[in-house]
Amino acid sequence: VLLVEDDRTLLTSLSITLRAAGYRVDRAGTAAQALATAVAEPPDLVVLDLGLPDRDGGEVIRQLRGWSDVPIVVLSGRSDSGDKVTALDAGADDYVTKPFAPDEVLARLRAAARRRLEGEDRPRVAVGSAVVDLAARTVTVAGPPSSAVRLTPTEWALLELLLRNPGRLVSRRELVTRVWGEDHREDSDALRVYLARLRRKLEPDPARPRYLLTEPGMGYRFRP
């Protein structure tokens, strides 16, 4: 794990936590150190503080993403969700808000690593009692009798992006960009409408979604 944090106390306590969990830890206190270490010793996981003394953590993410798809979990000390959204848009996998329990960081890291290992090729995904086959583009809801659910191309695009990133918070901008294109303005209303439709088709109780979750102000997350 490459652990990037300028707060010495936190850096030390997180190192202890990670090492106790069996990880080998490289430490960096600045963005410059982080990038140099990542190049010299490419990490399998990155824990990254957003507020670094020399450069913004988001800049570190953008640079890393230029050549690496390493899972990145962001530590954010700010209450403002804007920085987290920026970090997610830059390519972070998940975030933890300070103050946090060390176990929470471990859990997010494990989840991010597992998602990366599972990879992109999981054609069949269960959403409650519905089975979504991403390869055949079919949705079957368990019966009796079992029934097929029809989705529009836009619904498919949204659902597929969420399902291919199980557990990950996908930002609104990423959803809009990937579904409607780069130059489309962020349109939260359209997203809300489409998510509501998907929930009506897939969730056992659409008013109380259990699988297609809203993270207010941030985006959406598929909980497997």
Contact between residue 95 and residue 87 where contact means Cβ atoms under 8 Å apart = yes
By CB under 5 A, name the one of 15, 26, 27, 49 that touches Ca ion: 49
Q: H helices then E strands: how many in the chain?
A: 8, 12
Q: State in angstroms the smallest separation of the CB of 151 from Ca ion.
A: 43
Which residue is closest to Ca ion by CB? 51
The DSSP bridge partners found for residue 147 are: 141
Stretch of residues binding Ca ion (CB under 5 A), selected from 2-10, 32-40, 167-175, 179-187 = 2-10
Taking the least distance from each CB to Ca ion, the nearer of 58 and 209 is: 58
CA 180 – CA 13 distance, rounded (Å): 43
Q: Which of 98, 102, 52 is nearest to 75 (CA)?
A: 98
Q: State in angstroms the smallest separation of the CB of 212 from Ca ion.
A: 33
Q: Is 6 in the site for Ca ion (CB under 5 A)?
A: yes
Stretch of residues binding Ca ion (CB under 5 A), selected from 43-51, 56-64, 79-87, 110-118 = 43-51
Q: What is the DSSP string of 149-167?
A: E---HHHHHHHHHHHTSTT
Q: How many binding residues for Ca ion (CB under 5 A)?
A: 3
Stretch of residues binding Ca ion (CB under 5 A), selected from 42-50, 159-167, 188-196, 197-205 = 42-50
Give the residue carrying structure tokens 């030390």.
12
Site residues, Ca ion (CB under 5 A): 6, 49, 51
